[in-house]
Amino acid sequence: MQIYEGGKVMEASNTQNNEMEIRFDSRSENEGFARVSVASFLTQLNPTVEEVADVKTAVSEAVTNAIIHGYEQRVEKVKIHCSIENQLFTVEISDRGKGIANVEKAMEPMFTTKPEDDRSGMGFSFMEAFMDTVEVESKVGGEGTSVKMTKTIGKGSRIWTTQSL
Amino acid sequence: MRYQVEENCLTIYLPREVDHHNADEIRKEADAVISRNHIRYVIFDFDRTDFMDSSGIGIIMGGGIRPSV
């Protein structure tokens, strides 16, 4: 909660902890569902429209990766775990799929292992652009991949005032 | 997919959400229209779109739009 006091924005004590987890089939039909679920959970932090869009896009990228690359043609479970600690939002998207052989290479802009499918190879670049941190853990051989991203909501938001000070 | 062909120009009206789920469909239908008509220009109209991820970039980057021979 923010209080406007004498020209400065003060943070009232706001120890807010919350978490949620969802699991769903790795079907592209569920990409929209995943975005909206995470966005709904994020609402309690009073994000701006832009912050919601940023998080939805990053989640969309990670979920799409799990579906296209992690599981390829198979239908298995994608897991999303979200947690909130004060204004810090953390989302972790994980799968038990194929795994990434070379994470550094995978995160290179425009790199894709599926150029024949007209993939832009920009998934990780988008995640890095829209979230504060992106951590990828992956192991080839059926252990899967986990993408953990954080974003501080309300960082750098300015108060507009029309009163003369 | 909503689209309009006028002479050699194709206008594609993108839907409200452009993501991996519908990117394939958009691309296939665009390819079909392009192969049926002599298309030289493609316009992407995003007026109705309020969400897009990198799958949309894949469509625009021309990977999916193959010029008619």
* Segment A94-124, tens digit of pLDDT: 999 999 999 999 999 989 888 877 788 899 9
Phi–psi pair at A76, nearest 5 degrees: -135, -165
Please write the tens of the pLDDT for every residue from A49-88.
Answer: 999 999 999 999 999 999 999 999 899 999 999 999 999 9
A17 is catalytic: no
Single-letter residue type at B63: G
Question: In chain B, positions 4-43, which contact chain A (CB-CB < 8 Å)?
Answer: 17, 19-21, 27
On the CB side of A29, how many CA atoms lie within 13 Å of its CA?
4
Residue B47: what residue type? D
Q: Kindly report the nearest CA distance between residue A5 and chain B, in angstroms.
A: 36
pLDDT-derived band at B69 (thresholds 50, 70, 90) equals very low
> How far is residue A153's CA from residue A131's CA, in Å, rounded to a whole number?
10
Q: Determine the residue of chain B that is closest to A120 in CA distance.
A: B58
ipTM of predicted complex: 0.83
Known catalytic residue at A23: no
Q: Chain B partners of A28 at a C-beta cutoff of 8 Å?
A: 19-21
Which tokens is A96 given? Answer: 């038990």
pLDDT at A158: 54
Rounded (to 5) percent helix, strand, coil in chain B:
40, 30, 35
Do residues B66 and B31 lie in contact, with contact meaning Cβ atoms separated by under 8 Å?
Answer: yes
B8-54 pLDDT, tens digit each: 999 999 999 999 999 988 988 888 888 888 888 999 999 999 999 99
